[in-house]
Amino acid sequence: MNKLAIGVLDSGYEGLTLFEELVRAYRYETFIYINDIHNLPYEGQTGEAINKAVQKNIDILQSQGIKMLVVVSDLIVEHCQELLNSLEIPVINIVSAIIEYVNNNFEQKDLILLIKQEVIKANLYQKNFRYNHLFSINSTELTKIILNKQIKTSKSFFTSKEVFKNHYRRKADLLIISESYLLKLKTEIDEYVDVLEMISLPEVFQVQINHFEDLLEKKGKRKTMIISDLGKKEFYQQAYWLAGKYAYCQKSKMLIPNFGEQKNKDSHSKANDDE
């Protein structure tokens, strides 16, 4: 067992729903989530700039003490694979996890892949799925629905219909969604897509995490923290779908050198304030 935290590395808000599911699944584990709102969008930036921003967030996580890194953004995987490969702790990334899950459980099936246009262009998934018939769909308009707080509205149903218009009522075996918060649109998606199964990202990641069973906690207290660029109030306004409330630190106010040290309790409280 290892009392260090599991770090969760994201680009924007897309992996927060997955973060919450992992927190629920591993009840004794400490989780520290971090994203990179300040530097988005990555498209158009140099590889060096993106790697520098991601390295900074990894450094923050490692300063808090992490035993494993879970990368929930395929954008980060696209731009920073070499950096992730260089780390000395186990790294689980969303692209490899989904590819392994699909290849182990599906063959000669019709798959729909709902991902960002940038990731479609990068061909991260398509070239690695074996023996399946794959349709790729741009998720950009559905992402706007989430961020504009339009879940379960006429706009969300209309947009879902438009996004899936080429697949309306056509049967498919699996719908693959890499942005976990898009699962909040399941009602709308079910209205216009006939799929036997929608990928369960928590299950996909749990398979990968459980490979490192010797690192996992079986008992004891745990903590959870979110670290981001925004003030606490603004962050929770943007991430309005979050079910739970977590300790929160704005990067510019971080005064704590180590998440778990009691002596930094006052600094932690100050970092949580948002004026």
Give the pLDDT band of residue 270 (cuts 50, 70, 90). Answer: very low
Give me the pLDDT at residue 268, please. 43
Q: Do you find a cis peptide bond into 41, omega within 30 degrees of 0?
A: yes
Per DSSP (E only), the strands in the chain are 5-9, 31-34, 66-71, 91-93, 110-115, 133-138, 171-177, 194-198, 224-228, 247-250
Burial 176-189 (b: 16+ CB within 10 A, else e): bbbbbbbbbbeebb
Higher pLDDT, 220 or 17: 17
pLDDT tens column, 13-25: 999 999 999 999 9
Considering only the top CATH level, what class is 5-93+205-272?
alpha beta
3-state helix, strand, coil in the chain (%, to 5): 50, 20, 35
Share of the chain above pLDDT 70, in %: 92
Question: pLDDT averaged over the chain?
Answer: 90
Judge whether residue 258 has pLDDT over 70.
no
Tokens (6 digits) for 246? 């977590």
The answer to whether the 5-93+205-272 and 96-200 domains have the same CATH topology is yes
Give the pLDDT band of residue 255 (cuts 50, 70, 90). Answer: low
Judge whether residue 272 has pLDDT over 80.
no
**pTM, full prediction:** 0.89
| Cα distance between residue 122 and residue 112, in whole Å | 17
Give me the pLDDT at residue 267, please. 39
Angle at 46 between CA 54 and CA 114, to 5 degrees: 70
Give me the pLDDT at residue 100, please. 95
Enumerate the domain spans of the chain.
5-93+205-272, 96-200
Give the pLDDT band of residue 146 (cuts 50, 70, 90). Answer: very high
Considering only the top CATH level, what class is 96-200?
alpha beta
Judge whether residue 265 has pLDDT over 60.
no
